[in-house]
Structure 1
Amino acid sequence: MGDDSASTTARPGSEDDRLLSEFGYRQELPRVLRFWTNWALGFAFISPIVGLYTVVALGAQTAGPAWVWVLPIVVLGQLLVALVYAHLARRWPLAGGIYQWSRRLIGPAYGWWAGWIYMWALVLTLSTVAYGGGFFLGQLLGWEEPSTAESVLLGLIVMAIFTAVNAAGLHLLRWVVNIGIACELIASIGIAVVLISLFRVQPVSTLTDTSATPDGVAFFPAFIAALAIGGWVILGFDACGSVAEETREPRRQVPRAIVVSLITVGAVDILAAVALVLAHPDIGAVVSGQSADPVSEAVVAGLGEWAAKPFLVVVVVAFIACGIAVQATGVRVVYSFARDGMLPLSRVWRRVSTRNQAPVYAVALVAILSALAFVYANALSVLVAFATGAYYVGFLAPVAALLYLRLRGRWRDPDGRRGLGKIGVIVNVVAVAWLVFELVNIAWPRDLGLPWWQTYAFLLGLGCFGTVGLVYFFATRPDRRFVEESVSMGEAPPPASAEQQSASTATNVGGTQE
């Protein structure tokens, strides 16, 4: 918190402003963030408590206690993606991240589809976080078994908190997020260390017991299914790139924040998962599904009944910090999308308040769209499944596009290099392979005894949102309006030195890098 200056914008004519103007935009958002808060936003989005604690039971019910070994694999796979993102963030430190990278790599049509899927993934992820946060808020308030209407009300209350903080502007947002992750770090690491060192009741061999799968199913296919669950946990490091226009020295700070946020959350997730398995008094009940809330049970069994309420407070705070970060990311995607004329009523959604320099209309839009999902509260699991798969589609778009340009010899770094040479290509290839594997793994219609519409949730969601996108895309052709109307194409860049002109050549649309 202490490394962000009190000043609200970068100095007029600063290097950050000049960099943004070379991309065809003017500085509208307050450039006040530095490394710590940029990292904090990514950490809050990934959130060990929100991500891990909500899938511990599902992971154990899928592959037994040895499911924890999916986490190092997922962290390694996502680290390769993060390295590619860090490379792109250094190249194009712009609000909207994945959308901006995709359309500048290949072109406006490709970018529009990447942004469209990515936007809906964020909107539905926000619905999930708000609804889940409402559940824990209800427990904190004593609503043990709320009705559907009460659950929706709690979710709307949590959504209102997210929205109020984001609408108030970046200064309040960074304080709330920083406080939230400070609580989360202390609680996650502190509880994990205490449980492992003082209250371990399971032998260490439990972590490698591949025979303890539910109903005695074979471990390998169960482990592959658990990898899909692990893929739900480590998402959100792209949030660091979405606030690049609000970060000082973005070409240096944002890439670092992307990688460090992933590594720190991954380490905390692995530690916490191991602690929860070893400290749970009845791991068999977790695997069989008889344990309704294995996280709280492990904490209370180790620390005592007094820890139940304080632990719930930490969980609610973590959900609030996570939701604020998710909404902030979605708002920047909408703002960046609308700034290029890619959405209906783009002139409204791209407006920035002169009072607090926040895109308040985009904040309201994201909140309303997310809250509408509560109407289908009974089908929330379907929305979760689609959101996760859609997130991987969005993740894949710029990574695959960069690999395409690299393999065709059309990619250059701003300084003229080929982009880390063979090492960069290898990292890019493996990152694409990992994302394709996880996307197929998540979307695979496994027979889990669920209704057919839950089994095929991702494909149904993709068909639904894809059809809406097709209708709008071909009716209005936003990719063509982009050339005529967007700020980035309608304003000539300011005079630049020969070196700057050479470096900015790669910002042309259509995949014509150098």
Structure 2
Amino acid sequence: MSAEDKDSLKRVDQEPVTSVLAPNEIPVIDGAHDSDDDVLAALGYKPEFKREFSLWTTFCVSFAVLGLLPSVASTLYYGLGYAGTPGMVWGWLIAMAFIQCIAMGMAELCSAMPTSGGLYYASAVLAPPKYGPFAAWVTGWSNWLGQVTAAPSVDYSLASMILAAVSINKPDYVPQNYQVFLLTVLLMVVHAVISSMPTRWVAQFNSVGSTFNIVALIVVFIVILAADNRTSQGMPRFNSSASVWGDFYAGTDFPKGVSILMSFIAVIWTMSGYDSPFHLSEECSNANIASPRAIVMTSGIGGAVGWALNMAIAYTIVDIDAALNDESGQPFAAYLLQILGDKATMACLSLTIIAAFSMGQGCMVAASRVTFSYSRDGCLPLSRYWANVNTLTKTPVNAVWLNCAVGCLSVLLIFAGDVAIGAIFSIGAIGAFVAFTIPITIRTFFVASRFRPGPWNLGKYSYANGILSTIFTLLMIPILCLPTVTGSDLDAEGMNWTIVCWGGPMLLAIIWFFVDAHKWFKGPKVNIAHMIHDVQAEPYVIQAQEAGELDSSQPIVPAKKDSLSAV
């Protein structure tokens, strides 16, 4: 090791991170490295990806995952069907206020811990030592369930929209479940192929896709407001504000307030993609600043634009019942037909379909990074296979195809009915937001001064922000599990299967932890060589390393002051 390399060695507490390593430990990086690599090393990981994402391309991936136009189209059934237009307008505003709190809390964690493990790593580091592994385990599994169901839920909606477009041109055609399933599987496979490509290609694809998403959203928004034919149907150009903001739709058996809360599933699912920059932080340059900025940008811009689109739909929709109960199974397509001609409807639907394709691919990329990072630490069965980085593409190809297989299996819920397949949307919502909030809650109530903020932080507002985030998630967990009907009307077909599809795997994961995993799972696994900082011992450690006496792939045991070598 040269004198220059020795001088470049930094203790963990010299980097703006909150790490699983002790403050006085020194990570040792082999070969050339930059400041981003130094930050990652201080977290205990050696660089494994090329940093080819910038703030813009990272934002593009997360905005593509957000996919506002296809997301609103996919979840119109929930936003409109539970509470009507009030759930879409002021319900969206209430939900977004709390979601922005969660996004800012996450951004603060990302700045201090910019690693693809993200939320899971944060829970492990911030929780009291005795509970760190369990907190990481619960966070990781909940986040993984949310991530792995994101792409199939998007592709299921995409397949439904494609077949709905066919039914517009062929009125006698009614899509069958097996056709929707097969088309969804095909889309999943295509997205997996794209996500297995080199990082630069994936980044470029998502950049183009995100740009198209923005353009398509603007075009559809303008068409809805400027080209609707309501006046030719003998109606005013727009619905009255009194009806839009005050006329509730009786879509559930619950009181209006609860129905509004239930409609939040549309907002939560739509806005669940802003964690993507966290998971891509090991592939982003200037990660501890660019990644948290991308998180806040995605949530803030996405929330404002999504609300505007919801407002446009609420002020122009003609018949809520007809849209929700259309034979095509796609309320958004039925809504467009209510206010536009066939050609304009097909144009808007085509733009939405292309945007949804980009969104599904972004979901697949983000989910693969989560699977890779959790497998790197042994969280998943057969982790050694899913943690492999392909030598040719430098991407976690095995993780991509695992997610593809699990996603295809989850779409089998379509054969259990409309309510059952709807569970993949609520799994994504509840799974993601539980994982989002666990480390924020730990940071707020149990960490105090042990948290070392990164360069992007909330300062004195962090505590209040954490309280609001925790309250919102605790409220929404039971709400997202409520069925739309009650009493004697509730049967297996009308049951909300979220508690089974999310709660079941989570219960099994917790049982696995207490029965077996607690014996070997200790949280994030450090994979970089490191040593304990000691003024007298440090030179001897470095000398021994230069002489080839140390295996740099293994952690270095601290040397004693009177020792001339490291064990």
The TM-score by the shorter chain falls in which range? 0.7 to 0.9
Find the aligned partners of 1:359 and 1:212 in 2 and give their Cα distance.
Answer: 46
Alignment match of 2:95 (pick from 74, 80, 93): 74
Query: AA paired with 2:444?
Result: L
SS of the residue corresponding to residue 455 of structure 1 reads coil
Alignment match of 2:134 (pick from 109, 113, 124): 109
Residues paired across the two proteins, number: 482
Q: Deviations over 1:96-116 (max 9, x none)?
A: 321121112122221022101
SS of the residue corresponding to residue 412 of structure 1 reads coil
Q: What is the CA-CA distance between 1:251 and the residue it aligns to?
A: 0.8
Q: What is the CA-CA distance between 1:36 and the residue it aligns to?
A: 0.8
Partner of 1:4: none
Alignment match of 1:160 (pick from 185, 189, 210): 189
Find the aligned partners of 2:188 and 2:405 in 1 and give their Cα distance.
Answer: 9
1:50 to 2:91 alignment: no
Partner of 1:385: 426
Find the aligned partners of 2:404 and 2:534 in 1 and give their Cα distance.
Answer: 40
1:118 to 2:143 alignment: yes
Q: 1:496 to 1:175 in 2, by over 3 A?
A: farther
Partner of 2:393: 356
| Structure 1 gaps, min length 5 | 1-10, 498-514
SS of the residue corresponding to residue 82 of structure 1 reads helix
**Worse-matched range after superposition: 426-435 or 102-111:** 102-111
1:412 to 2:452 alignment: yes
1:210 to 2:231 alignment: no
Partner of 1:136: 161
SS of the residue corresponding to residue 478 of structure 2 reads helix
What does 1:113-512 correspond to in 2, within 5 Å? 113-140=138-165, 144-197=173-226, 199=228, 200-210=237-247, 213=250, 219-283=256-320, 285-286=322-323, 293-378=330-415, 379-406=420-447, 408-413=448-453, 420-447=458-485, 449-452=489-492, 455-477=495-517, 480-482=520-522, 487-488=525-526, 491-492=529-530
2:484–2:494 contact (8 Å) kept in structure 1: no
2:41–2:528 contact (8 Å) kept in structure 1: no
Q: What is the CA-CA distance between 1:122 and the residue it aligns to?
A: 1.4
Partner of 2:38: 18
Query: AA paired with 2:155?
Result: A
Partner of 2:565: none
| Structure 2 gaps, min length 5 | 1-30, 229-236, 536-567
Find the aligned partners of 1:294 and 1:116 in 2 and give their Cα distance.
Answer: 32
Larger Rg: 2
1:115–1:394 contact (8 Å) kept in structure 2: yes
2:76–2:332 contact (8 Å) kept in structure 1: yes
Q: Deviations over 1:410-429 (max 9, x none)?
A: 333258x9x65542111111
Query: AA paired with 2:150?
Result: T
Find the aligned partners of 2:248 and 2:189 in 1 and give their Cα distance.
Answer: 46
Q: 1:428 to 1:352 in 2, by over 3 A?
A: same
Find the aligned partners of 1:470 and 1:424 in 2 and give their Cα distance.
Answer: 30
SS of the residue corresponding to residue 235 of structure 1 reads coil
Q: 1:292 to 1:161 in 2, by over 3 A?
A: closer
Alignment match of 1:33 (pick from 53, 61, 64): 53
Q: 1:52 to 1:473 in 2, by over 3 A?
A: same
Partner of 1:60: 80
Q: Deviations over 1:117-152 (max 9, x none)?
A: 211221122221222222223344568423222221
Query: AA paired with 1:110?
Result: A
Find the aligned partners of 1:185 and 1:496 in 2 and give their Cα distance.
Answer: 54
Percent of residue pairs identical: 21
Q: 1:215 to 1:35 in 2, by over 3 A?
A: closer
Q: What is the CA-CA distance between 1:193 and the residue it aligns to?
A: 3.1
Find the aligned partners of 2:347 and 2:519 in 1 and give their Cα distance.
Answer: 51
Q: What is the CA-CA distance between 1:354 and the residue it aligns to?
A: 1.4
1:49–1:184 contact (8 Å) kept in structure 2: yes
**Worse-matched range after superposition: 261-270 or 249-258:** 261-270
**Worse-matched range after superposition: 355-364 or 373-382:** 373-382
Q: 1:70 to 1:496 in 2, by over 3 A?
A: farther
Find the aligned partners of 2:500 and 2:216 in 1 and give their Cα distance.
Answer: 38
SS of the residue corresponding to residue 488 of structure 1 reads coil
Partner of 2:21: none
Query: AA paired with 1:123?
Result: V
Q: What is the CA-CA distance between 1:92 and the residue it aligns to?
A: 0.4
2:126–2:443 contact (8 Å) kept in structure 1: yes
1:385–1:458 contact (8 Å) kept in structure 2: yes
Find the aligned partners of 1:195 and 1:232 in 2 and give their Cα distance.
Answer: 23
Find the aligned partners of 1:431 and 1:479 in 2 and give their Cα distance.
Answer: 32
Find the aligned partners of 1:283 and 1:342 in 2 and give their Cα distance.
Answer: 45
Q: What is the CA-CA distance between 1:268 and the residue it aligns to?
A: 1.7
1:134–1:157 contact (8 Å) kept in structure 2: no
Q: 1:301 to 1:437 in 2, by over 3 A?
A: same
SS of the residue corresponding to residue 492 of structure 1 reads strand
Query: AA paired with 1:36?
Result: W
Find the aligned partners of 1:265 and 1:487 in 2 and give their Cα distance.
Answer: 35
Find the aligned partners of 1:450 and 1:164 in 2 and give their Cα distance.
Answer: 42
Give the TM-score normalised by structure 2: 0.78
Q: 1:481 to 1:71 in 2, by over 3 A?
A: closer
Q: What is the CA-CA distance between 1:246 and the residue it aligns to?
A: 0.4
1:120–1:387 contact (8 Å) kept in structure 2: yes
Query: AA paired with 2:143?
Result: Y
2:149–2:424 contact (8 Å) kept in structure 1: yes
- Return the structure number with greater helix share: 1
Q: What is the CA-CA distance between 1:56 and the residue it aligns to?
A: 2.2
Q: 1:27 to 1:215 in 2, by over 3 A?
A: closer
Find the aligned partners of 2:340 and 2:51 in 1 and give their Cα distance.
Answer: 43
Find the aligned partners of 1:267 and 1:293 in 2 and give their Cα distance.
Answer: 24
Q: 1:376 to 1:210 in 2, by over 3 A?
A: closer
Q: What is the CA-CA distance between 1:331 and the residue it aligns to?
A: 1.1
Give the TM-score normalised by structure 1: 0.85
Q: What is the CA-CA distance between 1:395 and the residue it aligns to?
A: 1.9
Q: What is the CA-CA distance between 1:182 and the residue it aligns to?
A: 2.0
Q: Deviations over 1:392-449 (max 9, x none)?
A: 221221111111234x54333258x9x6554211111111111212222212355254
Find the aligned partners of 1:423 and 1:383 in 2 and give their Cα distance.
Answer: 35
Q: Deviations over 1:328-375 (max 9, x none)?
A: 121111111111222222221111111110111111111111111233
Q: What is the CA-CA distance between 1:242 and the residue it aligns to?
A: 0.6
